[in-house]
Structure 1
């Protein structure tokens, strides 16, 4: 059963570009379903996360924002996978 990773971003965001690369590094060869969402396309997301992008949600829970550490994210994904039945 894969981990759901939601990557909240927006256009023309330099932090988002770097974070996207780090997310890709972290999820490489892991059972992860990645969904990328532009917060500016959803008023609720923009209100909740607009000042914090990029944001990474793992199974719906916030893992990181602004900067993504690929090693920390990979460890969190591995821990979630290990807990799955």
Structure 2
């Protein structure tokens, strides 16, 4: 599985999966409905190493052209807890 945020998917966090790497198509599932702007996937690496739990840190983020910063209001933080069999948000 891999996790993305893409303009073509309205900047929603999504997961692409396939059971067999030889398959030619990916299954795509949006993990949340909100637009996250220029967010890039990040997760709790220690939780993954210790318990094999994948928690994605999400927050609406902006970025200007050429890596410039863009002024924005304070944004809420959310954690998406992902499992290949169960999906739930906190």
TM-score (ref. length: structure 2)? 0.28
Q: Select the structure of larger CA radius of gyration.
A: 2
RCO greater where, 1 or 2, for CA within 8 Å and sep 6 or more?
A: 1
Structure having the higher helix fraction is 1
